[in-house]
Every structure is written in C-alpha cells, then in structure tokens.
Amino acid sequence: MCGRMATLLPPQAMVQLFDAMPANDLPVTPNFNVCPTTQIHVVTATDQRRLVSMRWGFLPHWYKAPNDGPLLINARAETIAQKPAFRAACRERRCLIPTTGFYEWTKDADGARLPWYVTPADDAPMVMAGIWQTWGHGEDAVNTCAVVTTQASGPMADIHHRVPVMIMPDQFGLWLGEQGKGAARLMHAPDDDYLKMHRVSRDVNSNRAEGPDLIEPFEG
C-alpha cells in the first residue's frame, strides 16, 4: 500500500527526467506530506509526454460524487486487469507518478502506529506505476489517478505486505505504452535491495504536519 508520500523534486527536474511538457498548474514542491485526494505530479503520454496535476484518488465513471464510494488511492497489480473500476485504465491510461519517497506504518506492542519513510537506496527519484482517468464532464471534469501496488518482498515485507510497483528509467516508455505491449511484466516488486527505510517521527501521523523534519530518522 502507499497512503502518503513526500515529493521534493522541483517540477523542472521532473520535466528533464521524463522529457515531458509541463502543465501550468503543477503542485508546489517540496511537499513532505502528500496526502490522498490532493493534487500530485503525474506523467502521461497520450500524444506526447506531459507532466500534469491529478487528484490522488481514482474515481470510477459510475461515481456520482467524489465521495460516492471507497477512496481508491491504490490499485492491486494482481487484479487490476479484471476490476471494473481499473481495467480500462490499465489498458489505455497508464501513467508515471514521480516522488521522492513514501510513508508506511507498523504497530508497537500497544497498537500505536509507528511511521517509516521509504526511499530508493541510491537516493534517485522514485517513479511509481499509476493509472488515471477523467471523471465528470465539462467544467466539472477532474483527472484522477491511483498508484499500482503489488506483494512486497525482502525488507519491505517486514513493514507492510504491499509495495508500489516501481518503474525504472529504461521502462518508462513501456509502461506509458510508447513501446507497444508488455507493460504487465513490469508489475512486480522491486529488487530486495532497491529500497531503504527508516523510522520517522509520529508527527507525520497527522495529515496536517509539514516540513523537512518529517523525513528525518527518529529513534523512539
């Protein structure tokens, strides 16, 4: 699962990373506490690669309102091609979600939630697989997205049983559909040594918390 992120890359760095044309309404970075239902950076490739802003929280076309059903911030790789909410987007509207790291939680003996910050071991930008779709019509239309997740392995599995699908730079074109079919073979957990993680302050348990201290290592 991925329920919170930190995005520190400047938009111009994302433009260069993906060779994408930027939209004018991109979210401000750095943001050390990116929460569901807020706008996040997304790369699409309908005619050319574009860096755009989308609502994190996929809205199926049958929802009559954004809160008409479950909040779909993640899509399971194992069932994405069969789920009515996701199957068309999986075939036709895959996207890349650039970020710096994400948060996950374990529990102590008393049941208290203990946050962890997870990033690539080499400190490179993290690029997660995503799907997107437009919900609504006309001026009310909203572009929405979800992170694709899969079964965790290695050290990540000690923290949570799910992990975002990671897309490497040489795989961008395949996931976006620019290189034909075969994106399904990318939907697996990253190598066991790809990620590193450390405990962070419980301050991030609040979706209102802000600032660089949220990702600093914390003992206790």
| Residue 77: inside a domain | yes
User: In the chain, how long is the greatest CA-to-CA distance?
Assistant: 52
Q: Round to whole Å and give the CA distance between 130 and 54.
A: 11
| Residue 181: inside a domain | yes
From first to last of its 220 residues, the chain has per-residue pLDDT tens of: 678 999 999 999 999 999 999 999 999 999 999 999 999 999 999 889 999 999 999 999 999 999 999 999 999 999 999 999 999 999 999 999 999 999 999 988 888 899 999 999 999 999 999 999 999 988 889 999 999 999 999 999 999 999 999 999 999 999 999 998 999 999 999 999 999 999 999 999 999 999 999 999 998 6
| Residue 173: inside a domain | yes
Asked if 49 and 21 count as a contact pair (C-beta separation under 8 A), the reply is yes
Element (H, E) at 14: helix 11-18
Q: Which domain holds residue 16?
A: 5-215
| Residue 220: inside a domain | no
Q: In this structure, what token pair is assigned to residue 93?
A: 């509207």
CATH number, position 129: 3.90.1680.10
Measured between its terminal Cα atoms, the distance across the chain in Å is 24
| Residue 160: inside a domain | yes
Return the percent helix, strand and coil in the chain, to nearest 5: 20, 35, 45
| Residue 111: inside a domain | yes
| Residue 96: inside a domain | yes
Q: Round to whole Å and give the CA distance between 130 and 172.
A: 11
